[in-house]
Amino acid sequence: MKNPLVFCLLCAALPAALAAQALPDKAKLKAEVAAMEDAFCAMGQKDGLLAAFQHFAAPDVAFIDTDPRQWRGAAAVKLRMGENRPGVSLTWSAYFTDVSDDGTLGYNYGLYEIRSPGPDGRERVGGGWFLTIWKRQPDGSWKYVMDNGAPDRPAPPATPAAPAPAAKPAGN
């Protein structure tokens, strides 16, 4: 090359061009993770919670509410979920989704609702927030590696209403 300045500029620009080319499309990946969460919930409704939790689990999945030092993978899913229970329905929907800059991890959180028959036969309804952490697998699919839910706090006890101010007599 006859012009060393042009050569230096090209060499300086090449790493930036390669880095820009290597960045994943975060909007596309967020949509993928959100779609996985929706499919996860839909399968739970259609095929049962145990089947859905098994299908979408990564091989190294762990849960905070089962000892993750001891229980990982399929054994952790089975321990946490147990067998499907008749009349139990769990639904959820992501409120927020994001992915890592390198596109290898994603997460979403949102609200869940659980309905189940109570001991008296009447339906009990509960809910709260969930967090799911997703990991891109070698085949390009997304599987969850951690899932957790936190029930809503109970409503605070009602406070007695303050008495209404006494009416003033007319003409004063």
Quick check: 36 and 108 in contact, CB under 8 A?
no
pLDDT-above-90 percentage for the chain: 60
Between CA 94 and CA 15, with CA 141 as vertex, the angle to 5 degrees is 100
Q: What is the pTM of this model?
A: 0.75
Number of neighbours of residue 108 by Cβ within 10 angstroms: 24
The answer to whether 94 and 108 are in contact (CB under 8 A) is yes
**pLDDT tens track for 51-108:** 999 999 999 999 988 877 888 899 999 989 988 888 899 999 999 999 999 999 999 9
CA-to-CA distance for 115 and 124, rounded, in angstroms? 6
pLDDT band at 163 (very low <50, low <70, confident <90, very high): low
For 130, phi and psi rounded to 5 degrees? Answer: -125, 160
Task: Name the token pair of 92.
Answer: 């959820």
* Residues in the chain, total: 172
145's tokens: 């590696």
